[in-house]
Amino acid sequence: MEPRDQMNQRTHASLQAIRETCMHGVFFFSAVVAILALALICFFLLVNGLPAIGTIGISPFLFTQEWSPTNVPSAFGILPMIVGSLYVTAGAISIGVPIGILTAVFLAQGCPDKLYRVVKPAIELLAGIPSVVYGLFGIGAIVPIIGNSILSASVLLGIMILPTVIVIAESALRAVPEQYYEGARALGAGHYRAVFYAILPAAKSGVFAGVVLSVGRAVGETMAVVMVAGNQARMPVSLLKGVRTLTANIVIEMGYAADLHRGALIGTGVVLFVCIIVINLSVRLLQHEESIPLH
């Protein structure tokens, strides 16, 4: 008979192999479910949206300015919503990105430990606040000052994207080797000069990835924008005038839409889906850039 220790080792190895096989199956099943969910979303959007776009016409759908689905004849031009989404997103990026990057620099390179233990959880809490709460804040604090407008939506979205920019930019800054900072200091640079001229350029890929992801958040935001943007389906004429975004257009009218009107709204979702895919591909391309050398 084999010694008891050898039998125990074989039993342990067999159990370990079974556990690893089971976990491999769980992970594989989870990956398959995620892929199937994405495939179902794509299938639903394409099957329900592309026929409506084909009926309306790609050019009239994307490049005409009139959206009047209840009129006779009806019109389904989403150009005002496309331009409105671009305006609001650009405004949010202009407000949120500089503040977010500067905050990330402070947290990564200049924040005292005691203050960091307060600020970092606050930023994480900011990321977990529901969109409708942001919308209520916008109605109560931003709209009375600015009005329902592009600027109001941009300010609110700028606040909402701060956690994304800060967290990713801070991680990118902390990933830069210490030699970059030490080399800049050895050449006579001050602390923040070394940070902005050595550390930040070295972390630009990660920082830009955070900016791109924040663009995706801004493009896809719905509830908060609906509550503060004014929701007029017309071409934007001023930062202080109301606007309707692509997401707001879907949410506002889907409850009573039917037939071609419903198909046009789903077609709007197809346009949004394509935008998100482009943003995600941009992030993947950034992730495949050459890594920072360690020497």
pLDDT of res. 277: 85
Q: What is the amino acid identity at position 14?
A: S
The answer as to whether 232 is a domain residue is yes
State whether 13 and 143 are in the same domain: no
When divided into structural domains, the chain yields a total of 2
50-106, pLDDT tens digit by residue? 999 999 999 999 999 999 888 878 889 999 999 999 999 999 999 999 999 999 999
Are residues 78 and 61 in contact, defined by beta-carbon separation less than 8 angstroms?
A: yes
The answer as to whether 172 is a domain residue is yes
Longest distance between any two alpha carbons in the chain, whole Å: 91
Q: What is the CATH number of the domain that holds 116?
A: 1.10.3720.10
Whether this model's pTM surpasses 0.75 = yes
State whether 206 and 113 are in the same domain: yes
CB within 8 Å of 175: residues ≥ 6 apart: 203, 206, 292
- Domain containing 42 equals 4-56
State whether 97 and 228 are in the same domain: yes
Q: Quick one: how many helices (H) and strands (E) in the chain?
A: 15, 2
228-284, pLDDT tens digit by residue? 998 888 888 889 998 999 999 999 988 888 889 999 999 999 998 888 888 778 777
Q: Which residue matches tokens 């000052």? A: 145
Instruction: State how far the Cα of 204 lies from the Cα of 200, in Å rounded to an integer.
Output: 6
State whether 44 and 94 are in the same domain: no
State whether 82 and 30 are in the same domain: no
The answer as to whether 167 is a domain residue is yes
State whether 104 and 49 are in the same domain: no
120-153, pLDDT tens digit by residue? 999 988 888 899 999 999 999 999 999 899 999 9
Cα dist from 223 to 104, 121, 156, 241, 273, whole Å:
27, 25, 11, 19, 18
Beta strands in the chain (DSSP E): 67-68, 75-76
Dihedral of alpha carbons 225, 229, 232, 238, sign: negative
